[in-house]
Each structure stands twice: as C-alpha cells, then as structure tokens.
Structure 1
Amino acid sequence: MRSNVGRVGERLLPVDPAIRGVAEQLYSLVADAPIISPHGHVPARMLADNHAFENAAELFVTKDHYITRMLHAAGVSLSELSGAEPRSTWRHLAENWHRFAGTASGYWLETELSDVLGITIPICAETADEIYDAVDVVLASPEFRPRELFRRFGVSVLATTDDPLDDLSAHAQLREADLGGHVLPTFRPDIYLDPDAASFGSAVDALLATTAEPATFSGYLAALENRREHFVRHGGVSTDHGVEEPYTLDIDADEAAALFQRVMRREASAADHRAFRGHMLLQMARMSVDDGLVMTVHAGIHRNHSSATFSAFGPDTGHDIPVPTTFTRGMKPLLERYGLEKNLHLVLFTVDETTFSRELAPLAGFYPSVYVGAPWWFLDAPDAILRFRSAVTETAGFYRTSGFIDDTRAFLSIPARHDVARRADVAYLSRLVMERRITLELAERIARDLVDAIPREVFKL
C-alpha cells in the first residue's frame, strides 16, 4: 500500500467549493494509483544494495540541487553543504527554511517529512536538531530502506539514467528482487555525442574499445547501436538526450564521416561541433526507428553557468540555468526524415514556457511521433503544471502529452511529486467540467489515463 502522501486537507485543490468538490471526486480515483516514473535519476545501485539512508542531510540536502541552489543564493557556500558535518548541513537548511516558502521544493520536503517519515515538527532553526534526531530514529528502521519504500510508494515502473557503457549489473540484480514493480535502465549518451564535452574523446575511445569497432564513423554508429541493444536486452525502453539547443542536421554519409574524423582529431571548429551534435541527434532518431527505444529530448538548459562553481564542485550542483528555446526549425530535419515513422516516439521537454503553446503543442498536434513532455525541472510545480495544461490542451489535448515525469534524484520525493501533478491535473479537469467543456465521465477517464494509460503508451511500457 502506498504511503498517505499529500492527503492532508484539500492541499492544491481549487478554492471554489463547487469546483473543489469535483476535484476531490476526481482525485479519489487516482490518489492510490501506482506510480509510473519513466524518467528520473535515482541510481539503480541504491535499490540493489538497499543500504539504509545515512541522515537528514544526505537524504534531503546534499544530493538535491533544488535545495542546494537556494541555500547558495542565500549565502551558504556549497563547501558548507557538501563537506561539512551532516548535522551542520541540516542546520543551514533549517535556519533558512523561510526562504523556501511558496517553492515546490519546500512543499515536497515538508510532504516527505510528514507523510513518508511521520515527522510533523515545523522546520526552523530552533527545531533543527530535534528533527535531525527524529529522522535518524526513523531511518534506523528496516521499513525505511530503499526497497521497502519502493514497495510502500506503490511504484510500478521506475526508470533510471545510465551511461551507455554501464554493464547494468544493478538492473540484473533488481530483476531478481521482489520489488512489486520494475526498474528500467535509460540510455543517456550525451558525452558520447557532444564534442564540447570534456570527456568526449576518451568516452568515444572507450565505446569503440568496448564494442571492438573501428575508429570510423560507421564503426562509431555501430558501437552506439551495440550498446543500445544491450540496454534493450536489460529492459530499457527509452533514450535520454540533454541538449542546450534542439538542433538537428541531415548530411550524407561521406560528409558525416569526414566530420567525425575532424572531431576526433580535435581539428573541428565550433560550427563543426554544432553540426556533429545536430547530425547525431538525427542519427539517434534513426536508431529509435530501428530498435523501438523512445527518444526523449530535454532541451534549453545552459549547463554549469558558474565556471568557478563547476571547477570547484563539478556538475549538477545547482547552477544550470534555462535559456530561450525553439524547436520548429531545429527539429525539422529530424521530423522530415522520421517524423511520420510509426515506430518513433519522440518526447520533447522544455523549460521555456512560451514554447508549449507556440511550438510543442502544434508539433504534437500533427506529427504522430511527437509528444509534449510534462513540465520539467524549473516547471514541475503546481502553478506551472496548470499553466502547461492551459497552454497545451486546446491544441494537442491530453493524449499527446507524456504523463508526469518526476526527473528526480531525491528518492523520497517521488510520491510527493507525483501527487502534486495528480492534484494539479484534477484541478484543471474539474474546471473544465464545471465550465461544461467536458463531461464528468470523460474527466474521470482522463484523470485515470494521465497516470496510467498515457505514460504506458508514450513509453511503450
């Protein structure tokens, strides 16, 4: 049985009593539905090893860049959060908790404490140690190990994000475990496709060595196809591509081969690098047509915006910033070649809200291969989800969207995040019902499908 996450009162449901009554009725249909999480970053090894979580700081702060970025903005250095004694790190969060008022991350963390761990003490500087000790007591119980929580959360599907050369042994181990749900690998080839990545050359060398393919463009493509097949054998259903610019390029084989050699010899220009990335995104679509893996593209993030922070602390430490993003022209070469292929499912994500109604909904409203990815990263919050539904639905409907994507490394936040999406969606549906734009019966079907049939269709589950 899943935890009672997010059930307190009428949280996030409409204020108007009449609309709220419909929302409550719809919410009751999906509140306990199994969680389908087809894209996220929880490591499979954590579930395979099933070690106890260490402490409140490790669980809620140091690995969650939603939290660390806000604390950094408040003047807390990342060294104080990542290298300090855990209790001190937790105190930094408690002392600054008022700064998280109104944020999605604040809502999630409070929900995790109260509804998952059963701790309802208000967070502030004076209660920091009391909460830290209470978390320690809870985490010492076998009931709060990762696998036990996986079962309790009612997770039906959890996708991880994995390097193409991962042997996926953790996934093989989990297939033998009695989890009550499936843990699937996701093929994430970014550093093998982007010549601007610091490790690109060594990554490609390792890829070719692992697959015993020659250092030619055709050998490189064959090596990627080989590793994709490895993921398919281990239950993978999708690939994930994080790009700043959703740009694709269709060039002939000879030109692509010459471009590959320039890139590998480090003789390529910035324009060559862009062309290579664009062509490889198109090649990934070709491979998805061939092997059936769903292709997800998360676009529009300027990674590692702070050079000093990246140098000192590395990636994924809170300084990735959104940029304006456009898809229509950049994705045209890919869609010209493969957009009408029945075996291609292409899910496009953005953090530029202006793109939803202007480009993504119209693209998904025509191309059978294209789906609009759920609000992601900076947009996976209650009001942003409502804006997403308003922007997309009138053009593409509900069934050309992906279903909710939690995209999280913070394992305990998964049920809280999915519950927020369910509440926001039924709030939107209830307004349509009360405005006589759809019937209650149809709203009931859509509410159920948003958490089950839609993500299963999109991700071929």
Structure 2
Amino acid sequence: MKHFLDKDFLLATETSKLLYHDYAKKMPVIDYHCHLPPQEIAENINFNNLTHAWLYGDHYKWRAMRTNGVNEKFITGNGSDREKFEQWAATVPYTLRNPLYHWTHLELQRYFNIDTILNRHSAKKVYDEANALLASKEFSTRGLLKKMNVQIVCTTDDPVDDLRFHKQVSDEGFSVKIFPAFRPDKAMAVANVNAFNAYVNKLATVADTEISDIRTYLDALKKRHDFFAAMGCRVSDHGLEKVQADEFTMMDIKTIFLELRAGRQISEEDQRKFQSAMLLFFAEWDWEKGWVQQYHLGALRNNNKRLLAQLGPDTGWDSIGDFPQAEALARFLTRLDENNKLAKTIIYNLNPADNEVMATMIGNYNDGSVAGKIQWGSGWWFLDQKDGMTKQINALSNMSLLSRFVGMITDSRSFLSYPRHEYFRRILCNIFGEEIESGELPNDMAWTGKIIQDICFNNAKEYFHFL
C-alpha cells in the first residue's frame, strides 16, 4: 500500500515517476491567469496567521464548510481567526475525495513542511507551526511566490485600475514579473443600467475625458487599453456566461448607448447587441497589440439571492451553467478571422459537457501562422481537479495537439495555491507514463520528456513572450 501524499503521489508507474521527477518537477511556473491582489505583492505583506492566508476569500473552502454544517459566523462572520481555522480543520476530514483534501495537505507540505493530517485534533499544532513560519521574511507574499518557483504572474484588473501596485513592483525590480491583465467585463455589463452609468462616470474620471456618446466611450476605453499596454500588459480576459455575437450596426450601438446614459433600461436583444459590439472592439484592440485574449465561459453566478444580499458576490453562490456555447462562439471568431484580426486566443469552459465542443472549436481557427494560436484552456474553477484535468487532457489529445498546450493556471486569490501546478503536472505525467508502459506510446523518454516540459512551461513562455 502506498503512503498518502508521498513523493510519488498520483504517479502509478515507474515511467510516470521518471517523467515527473526528472522532467516536470523542476520547471518554473508561468501563472498567466489568477486573482492575486497586486497590493499585497507590492506591500510584500506577511499574513497575520494561517486563516488570513488560507481562508480569507476562499469560497471553495467556504462552500465545503457550509455543506458540513458550519455556522456562517465561522466562515465569513465575526468569529475569531483561530475559531475559523478550527472549524475548517474539523471540516477537512469530511472532504475525502474532494480536491480540497489533496490541495490542503499538499499546501501544508510544500509551504510549511507539515505532513500532519489536518483534523480537529491536529488543528492547534498545525495552526501554531504554520503561523510561526508565516511571520518570517521568507513567508511574505513575495517569498511565497519565489518558494514555488514562480516566474510570471498575471493578475486580473479592471480598465479603471490605476495599476500603481504593478508599477511599484516593477520599479523595485522584484524577480517575479507581475503583469496586469485587461478585464473589461463591467464596461459591457448593461443589465443594471445604474451600475453601468456609475462605471462610465468612473471611467471618464480615470481617463480624464468627457464621455458623451459611444465614440467618446470607446476612446476612453481605448486610452485605458493603451495605458495597460504601456504598463506591460500582454493579455486580456473576459468572464462571460457565453460569448455574444448578434448582428448590429454602429447606429444601433450609438442609440443603445444614449438610451443607457439616459437611465433607461434596454431590452435583452439590445443588451446582446451592445455586448456583441464591445467584444469585437476589445478583440480588435488585442489583435493590434499582439495580446493574448482569454474567454472564461459558462459560470452561472450569484444564484442564492438571499445570501448574496447578505454577503455580496464572490462568496460562494456560483455554479456551472448550461448555456449553449458553440454557435455564437463560432460567429464571433469567424468575424475576427475574416477581417484578419483574430488574436491568439484561449477559451475556457466551465461545463464539462462542452469539452469536446471546445476541443474541436479551436481547430477551426488554427491557421498555421502560430503553433497553438487558438487554445482550449485548462480545467478551471469546478474543473481544476483530477477528473476535470484528466478529461480536459484526454479530449485535447483526441481532437487537437496536447503537445502545443500552454498548461495550467491557478485562477486563485490565494498565495498558497501554487501546488495546483504540481497537481496538474503529476496527473499529466501519470497519463503519459501509463500509456508508455502499456505500449500505447513509444518508450522515448527524451522526446516525451520534452513534450512534458513544453506543456508545463516552454509553450507558455513562447506563446506569451513574457520572458
């Protein structure tokens, strides 16, 4: 019987072990999509304790605790940090076979060298040991990134962000490069007209320009896009239920914008037209600058209206949505491709039912100009676990070229989440190792090892041109 979380965790064959330990393990990390707070990197903070580092803002853990019957006082409420950690520790044994069980213990091992199984009995020991380390210089936010061999981090930033913390980090010459990513979701979120107008007003202030019509609105957004580029941005990102690609005219968009600025609610058809237009404008700007554009599709957000009203968004009330994706996505990409304005693109799906849709969609627009120009992104959110990653790897292998894949992301707000890259790499190496030993793949370790290293690091390095 193998021991839990030993050095060969998730590696079932000798070839899998060789691929991981000799090829994958040593590769640096390019985290080209995450939600780390730039301010915490700039200020190089030390977390107050393990609860602060681990549980603040982590709705994965919050959902598990609620399911385990933990009172909200000890999740997002006014319970003490020690009490919240004790409740999490008591929940961990009930997460068996949930990826949280693996991630929790991987993170304790990799960051703190703690191999104790976390439960209510070990909670005090684990908490105190981790807290002592978190107080040290080596466990500051920058220290945590260096500890995990991270080379590149792309945060997620609104067009109105001033990016002063990115500038501070860059000016100080931190060895890990921290780049912004342009995420203009609020700039086309027109279902709530009051929120949209408040955003337009804020944009006008930040861009130092008057916004009176669609032309000046686009000018202000383009000004911010240019500013992001000057600050080193090379990627954009969109979090959408689905891509919109309705037909529209510029007169339609001019009229819709004026209706919105007059405070009038617009129809769902006009909402789709406006979003369709804005997505095209953003995509064309990305193409002009040679950026990589990313589309995270399929989340059904803010479902529990009662608890959303109490706690706000991003507190654990989201799920997988079952939106139709293929037709509109194909129309959108086709419009850009026909005008020769299709940038390098990564498409992520949250619904596993869409795996083969995405794995085949990318092949429609890979035109030979760039290896892997159009990518199907890694399993994310509810799918960044063993089963989700395995299915993504297999579907991509069957229908495209896994060898050109740009690899894993954390998609996380936590500085302790980087063992997810290790998790992915172990799963990847195990798949290749098992097929080599079964005779499905040749026993060519030099070539297979190269492919593993490409997927873990080299492909992303070449694709994004960060380094």
Q: TM-score, normalised by structure 2?
A: 0.91
- Are 1:208 and 2:204 counterparts? yes
Deviations 1:280-318 (A, max 9, x none): 222221221222221111111111111112111111111
Q: What is the CA-CA distance between 1:7 and the residue it aligns to?
A: 7.9
- Are 1:336 and 2:334 counterparts? yes
Give, in whole Å, the separation in 1 of the partners of 2:127 and 2:236: 38
Task: State whether residues 333 and 342 of structure 2, in contact with CA within 8 Å, keep that contact through their aligned partners in structure 1.
Answer: no
Counterparts of 1:23-34 in structure 2 under 5 Å?
A: 23-27=16-20, 28-34=22-28
Give, in whole Å, the separation in 2 of the partners of 1:350 and 1:74: 28
Relative to structure 2, which stretch is displaced further, 337-346 or 97-106? Answer: 337-346
Task: State whether residues 33 and 410 of structure 2, in contact with CA within 8 Å, keep that contact through their aligned partners in structure 1.
Answer: yes
- 2:232 is aligned, of 207, 210, 235, to 235
- Are 1:424 and 2:418 counterparts? no
What is the match of residue 162 of structure 2?
A: 167
Q: What is the CA-CA distance between 1:264 and the residue it aligns to?
A: 2.8
**Aligned positions, number:** 449
What is the match of residue 10 of structure 2?
A: 12
Deviations 1:32-73 (A, max 9, x none): 211110000011111111121111211112321110111112
Relative to structure 2, which stretch is displaced further, 224-233 or 269-278? Answer: 269-278
Relative to structure 2, which stretch is displaced further, 386-395 or 322-331? Answer: 322-331
Q: What is the CA-CA distance between 1:214 and the residue it aligns to?
A: 2.8
User: CA 1:345–1:304 in structure 2 vs 1: closer, same or farther (change >3 Å)?
Assistant: same
Q: What is the CA-CA distance between 1:452 and the residue it aligns to?
A: 1.7
What is the match of residue 344 of structure 2?
A: 345
Task: State whether residues 208 and 219 of structure 1, in contact with CA within 8 Å, keep that contact through their aligned partners in structure 2.
Answer: no
What is the match of residue 459 of structure 1?
A: 464
Aligned amino acid, residue 312 of structure 2: G
- 1:445 is aligned, of 442, 450, 455, to 450
Counterparts of 1:24-423 in structure 2 under 5 Å?
A: 24-27=17-20, 28-82=22-76, 83-197=78-192, 199-211=195-207, 212-265=209-262, 266-339=264-337, 341=340, 344-357=343-356, 359-368=357-366, 369-399=373-403, 401-414=405-418, 416-423=419-426
Aligned amino acid, residue 9 of structure 1: K
Task: State whether residues 66 and 318 of structure 1, in contact with CA within 8 Å, keep that contact through their aligned partners in structure 2.
Answer: yes
Secondary structure of the structure 2 residue equivalent to 1:46: helix
Relative to structure 2, which stretch is displaced further, 98-107 or 331-340? Answer: 331-340
Task: State whether residues 250 and 333 of structure 1, in contact with CA within 8 Å, keep that contact through their aligned partners in structure 2.
Answer: no
What is the match of residue 17 of structure 1?
A: none
User: CA 1:345–1:193 in structure 2 vs 1: closer, same or farther (change >3 Å)?
Assistant: same
Give, in whole Å, the separation in 1 of the partners of 2:365 and 2:404: 10
Aligned amino acid, residue 43 of structure 2: D
Aligned amino acid, residue 358 of structure 2: L
Deviations 1:312-351 (A, max 9, x none): 1111111111112433211133212213637601211111
User: CA 1:243–1:328 in structure 2 vs 1: closer, same or farther (change >3 Å)?
Assistant: same
Task: State whether residues 294 and 346 of structure 2, in contact with CA within 8 Å, keep that contact through their aligned partners in structure 1.
Answer: yes
Q: What is the CA-CA distance between 1:360 and the residue it aligns to?
A: 1.0
**4+ aligned runs moved over 4 Å, structure 1:** none
Task: State whether residues 284 and 341 of structure 2, in contact with CA within 8 Å, keep that contact through their aligned partners in structure 1.
Answer: no
Q: What is the CA-CA distance between 1:250 and the residue it aligns to?
A: 4.1
Aligned amino acid, residue 349 of structure 1: Y
| Contiguous gaps of at least 5 residues in structure 1 | 1-5, 15-19
Secondary structure of the structure 2 residue equivalent to 1:332: helix
Alignment RMSD (CA, Å): 1.9
| Contiguous gaps of at least 5 residues in structure 2 | 367-372
Give, in whole Å, the separation in 1 of the partners of 2:428 and 2:337: 29
Give, in whole Å, the separation in 2 of the partners of 1:246 and 1:119: 44
Give, in whole Å, the separation in 2 of the partners of 1:432 and 1:283: 45
User: CA 1:402–1:278 in structure 2 vs 1: closer, same or farther (change >3 Å)?
Assistant: farther
User: Identity over aligned residues, as a percent?
Assistant: 26
Deviations 1:198-245 (A, max 9, x none): 622101121123320432111111111111111111111111111112
Relative to structure 2, which stretch is displaced further, 422-431 or 195-204? Answer: 195-204
- Are 1:21 and 2:14 counterparts? yes
Task: State whether residues 294 and 460 of structure 1, in contact with CA within 8 Å, keep that contact through their aligned partners in structure 2.
Answer: no
Relative to structure 2, which stretch is displaced further, 422-431 or 294-303? Answer: 422-431
Give, in whole Å, the separation in 2 of the partners of 1:7 and 1:26: 18
Aligned amino acid, residue 249 of structure 1: D
Give, in whole Å, the separation in 2 of the partners of 1:334 and 1:399: 26
Q: What is the CA-CA distance between 1:106 and the residue it aligns to?
A: 2.0
